[in-house]
Structure 1
């Protein structure tokens, strides 16, 4: 029983998810996958490529309903869900600002977004169209669209994949800056261990397919204390606890 006044966590209990391959062979992607993300926590789902991380997000987003099991999204506050995908998925015929505002409920369509655009370095680009943006700037616009809705839970599916490392690193810092200013329960899919150690409060480590949780790695240090030396120590500790996991 959830204590009165305490926001419910993100709770996942997927017994099984199976799909058919192109050859018609049944493939079990997830099996006995259970975990929780506490309210206001930033967690990363970490596992090898193809293990079922994105499949898990698709189920939580309601895109894939063909599975056995259950899940509970965070409750309380806005109850809104936001997602940032590997591709920015911006409407090409809308400006950056229009793309962001289209995601808002009608009661928020006239919200003041100046601080959000400023924090993501988009203040001078609100009237540009997606074709006028670099991939890095388009990813910033996708982050702005997600945070503008003030979601109860934020899902991120490898939002910095395919970017060069300096650009990806800048965007990770921007993500942390915006999330710290308006913290929400967040679950991010990644197979980049260093990224997970930099961003998260807790790493949920998944097995190869069919995915299940093999353990947790809590990062209790404040993010501003995660220096290069500390990151090296965290990497060493992770590999000692989960040898060969990623």
Structure 2
């Protein structure tokens, strides 16, 4: 039972999700998938390609409705949901700042975003258009747009995929900086073990299709202590536990 006054966790209970392939074959993507993400926790959903990670996020975002089961999003003072996808999806005819403010509810339209822009290194780019940005900078704008809405839960679908490792690493640190300043319940899909170990409090590992929870890897060490040697040790422990999945 949830303690009085506590914010409910993100709760997922997907009994089954099937779809029909281009060849007309019925494919079961998810089966008996159950997990929780506690309030204020950053969790990663990790598993082999095709195991249903992105499908799970699409269900939670209401983009996939044809499934059996249920889920419960955290509420708290509001129930706003934000998402960062693999592509930034910015409006090309709007500036950086306009793209971000368009996503805000009316009650937040005049919010001071100076600290958010500063944290993400966008202070001097507010009046630029998407065509004037690199892919890495456009991904920063997508992060800013998500956090500006002050969401109750944040979903991220491999937001740094297709970036070179140096740019991706820089964005991971920026994500941690802005999330630490504006903590919210977060669930991120990734196939990158090192990324998951760097960012998350818990890694929820999915089995090959049909996806279900193979196990959970808790990363209890505070992020400031996750130096290269510690990351190497964590990676070794993770792979020993889940070698048969990855």
Normalised by the length of structure 1, the TM-score is: 0.99
Note the 1:105-124 alignment, pairs <5 A: 105-124=105-124
Report the equivalent of 2:241: 241
Q: Alpha-carbon deviation of 1:241?
A: 1.2
Report the equivalent of 1:158: 158
**Aligned partners of 1:18 and 1:68: how far apart in 2?**
9
SS at 2:54 equivalent: helix
Q: Alpha-carbon deviation of 1:245?
A: 2.1
SS at 2:44 equivalent: strand
Q: Alpha-carbon deviation of 1:3?
A: 1.6
Q: Alpha-carbon deviation of 1:116?
A: 0.1
SS at 2:5 equivalent: coil
Q: Alpha-carbon deviation of 1:77?
A: 2.0
Report the equivalent of 1:75: 75
Report the equivalent of 1:221: 221
Gaps of 5+ in 2: none
**Aligned partners of 1:55 and 1:39: how far apart in 2?**
22
Gaps of 5+ in 1: none
User: Aligned-residue CA RMSD in angstroms?
Assistant: 0.6
Runs of 4+ off more than 2 Å: none
Normalised by the length of structure 2, the TM-score is: 0.99
Report the equivalent of 1:173: 173
**Aligned partners of 1:102 and 1:75: how far apart in 2?**
23
**Aligned partners of 2:54 and 2:173: how far apart in 1?**
23
SS at 2:150 equivalent: coil
Q: Alpha-carbon deviation of 1:195?
A: 0.2
Are the counterparts in 2 of residues 153 and 185 from structure 1 also a CA contact under 8 Å?
yes
